[in-house]
A and B are shown apart, each in its own frame.
Chain A
């Protein structure tokens, strides 16, 4: 177990290092940041002063080494636009995204697992057909469109819910609802497929011969066996949300890390972009480890 965690930490460390290299040099491919930050009519002296201030006059490789040295001390530099440490800015936004992702995934998982299991139990029946129909629609609905329609109907038309921002519980309803739709459709399909296999398995037949009731048969005997592929997809979908639900956060003016990343890219605030990428990458690395541990907890045949 400890060896597994150590191995995963090393391999993830390598990925994170490669990510640092890629992100740093890619961001410089867009040209000299001086031109972007200073007004077009800035004097040559002002440009030179700006370069010296931010170390942009030195060879690129030295700038990179400095950057890496700072990273090792968890210093991502200051946000160019906000005059605050980049990491602080990112962590503030990431807190919002994390809450949004957790709430959404908790609701999605609960609903998709329950309804998907029931659909599998009644496979071919009316309930199954309805669930399959709506989950397919959900899985293929573009969220920018759903978000705009939802705002038009519930905020503008009916006036029930706020259009954007945070503050009250009501502000969470639309973003969560819109983010819910696609993962719900996808996960329900996976649960249904996996549960059909599990319910048709020999050990479920044994349970029936023992006199086990329908509910325990579905949710005790079959579900735990069916959960492995489901966990994989849940992890995948959660990662997408942690990355920042860029479109939804932007539309609803939600101050999460996705919106922050887009704003920072547009503003060429590279310290913030880099910090945001590193924080989300680290979060996804942690989540993958959690999923691996959940596999082992669910299935005693999996041991690391």
Chain B
């Protein structure tokens, strides 16, 4: 009987959103199911509609603008869509719970976390005193130190990983039968991601609940899922066992997605003849009593990709901001063509600035929303006269757009009118406009979908050859670094832990920390991932 009836079954669900541009069919005829103790992954890129069906499960779709056009959502055989609001509220949080990406914005900033966890229980009938005691037990269970003190604190006083632990405690307070996790580890550091996934897995084993993980990351699927459904443009294009789908994808979309996953290509062989173009010596940065950088030294060679990897707080972005003088260093030198960038007068710096450009993580924020693509790119020539004469601006913008793979129709568009990947191309074209020697990419591909990410990496690679560029490539995503970098610098707590050629770092890491980092990073191949997990558990028990 339990075989015949899954815990939750979504049947032929279609949801449409009415927008100013007309109706958008977010999901079409989507069906999936999950049983007790089972892990289903819903894999898809942004805009694929992967979160829509689970939002419908929890009645989180606003109608209007949303419209559930057809389908059923059967929970233990009863159709949730046929129930009243009040009845669904008794299921939400008690029988079906959800955790989200970005726990900072999903926790209420003005209430103590203990209160928020208690609330889950109180609204479903537990007494306040009982809920309070249970909250302390839950906090300890999810690994929050000093539960009594932590319960009185507010979300902003915790780290990203701890906040996700708090969300998990809140979701699991009433031991739900089903947990839906929407990109639960996306913004987290790799080691923290590994811990959170391990925690979710442990708790699932403990309670026997069903688990739906919504993700864009093949690595998460490989680590967690029994079964996977792949979504593209609101439709399920493929479904099956996780290992089976990875090894033998049937649909062209799935094939492309798996082929685009980073970390599978050949690593680069480092050239030995290159000379340093930029040399940092003992660069340090202090904020009051806090030291963000402890006097680090490294060289960037002509024509190379130097990756700086590390977790949040490692100081990897600080080095970039100091180099570009977005912030002033507290000490040290950065020699570029014999001149110290860090001590240069503003006038000299202005002339040099064009030679070192930056591409940021989030083009939505780094491109002025009120300027057209043409204005965004040509503005640089107004600031640095003498590069391109005004009469040639339009032609030159068209050339630059062509180099990054956009046609000149994009010139009159605004950033919000183009996709994330296109915006990042514009940001790259903007950096190229000044004909720089060095481009600092600060998490420049982190926010992009894998296929777009692969395209942008190929673009950066091509431009490196054609323009004689050198890159400082700051990233937390190790597979991307493995494919793209010549040399790698591993940072932690404002210090360089290890630096070396990409092959040495990935195949023969010398430092314990680098080994941990590599062990925590996820591989898209479920088999490789199973081996890694075994190795990690061996490391933990040893």
Contact = CB atoms under 8 A, between A and B. Distances in A.
A201 interface: yes
B90 interface: yes
A202 B106 contact: yes
Interface residues of A, number: 21
A296 to B, nearest CB: 11
Contacts of B109: 203, 225, 299-301
A209 B105 contact: no
A213 B89 CA distance: 7
Contacts of A216: 123
Nearest to B120: A210
A90 to B, nearest CB: 40
Contact of A208 (B58, B86, B102, B167): B58
Contacts of B91: 211
B157 to A, nearest CB: 8
B110 A210 contact: no
Contacts of A301: 109-110, 154, 156
B444 interface: no
Nearest to B124: A211
B89 to A, nearest CB: 4
A300 B123 contact: no
Nearest to B65: A124
A104 B111 CA distance: 30
A201 B105 contact: yes
Contacts of A206: 98, 100, 106-108, 167, 170
A300 B157 CA distance: 10
B99 to A, nearest CB: 9
Given A224-B110, A300-B110, A210 B170 contact: yes
B100 A202 contact: yes
Contacts of A209: 58, 60, 92-93, 97-98
B487 interface: no
B238 interface: no
Contacts of B119: 210, 212
Tell me the interface secondary structure of chain A in the complex. helix
B59 interface: yes
Max chain B Cβ within 10 angstroms of own Cβ: one of A124, A206, A301: A206
Interface in A33-88: none
B379 to A, nearest CB: 31
Interface string A192-211: 00000000011101111111
A202 B105 contact: yes
Given A210-B170, A213-B123, A301-B154, A221 B60 contact: no
Report the interface size class on chain B: 20 to 34
B110 A298 contact: yes
Nearest to A208: B60
A211 to B, nearest CB: 4
Interface string B169-202: 0100000000000000000000000000000000
Interface in B73-99: 86, 89-94, 97-98
Contacts of B59: 208
A223 to B, nearest CB: 10
A212 B58 CA distance: 12
Nearest to B108: A203
Contacts of A201: 105
A209 B84 CA distance: 15
Nearest to B117: A210
A157 B94 CA distance: 61
A205 B100 contact: yes
Contacts of B167: 206
B89 A211 contact: yes
A206 B108 CA distance: 9
A39 B522 CA distance: 95
Interface in B310-339: none
A299 B110 contact: yes
Contact of B102 (A202, A210, A225): A202
A211 B105 contact: no
Interface string B403-429: 000000000000000000000000000
B108 A221 contact: yes
Contacts of B102: 202
Contacts of A203: 105-109
A273 B413 CA distance: 59
Most chain A beta-carbon neighbours within 10 Å: one of B108, B109, B120, B123: B108
Nearest to A216: B123
25 contacts: A124-B64, A201-B105, A202-B102, A202-B106, A203-B107, A205-B100, A205-B106, A206-B98, A206-B106, A206-B107, A206-B170, A208-B92, A209-B92, A209-B93, A209-B97, A210-B123, A211-B89, A211-B91, A211-B93, A211-B94, A211-B123, A212-B123, A213-B89, A225-B108, A300-B110
Interface of A: 124, 201-203, 205-213, 216, 221, 224-225, 298-301
Interface of B: 58-60, 64, 86, 89-94, 97-98, 100, 102, 105-112, 119-120, 123-124, 154, 156, 167, 170
Q: Which 6 A-B pairs rank lowest in CB-CB distance, beginning with the nearest?
A: A211-B93, A211-B92, A210-B93, A202-B105, A203-B108, A209-B98
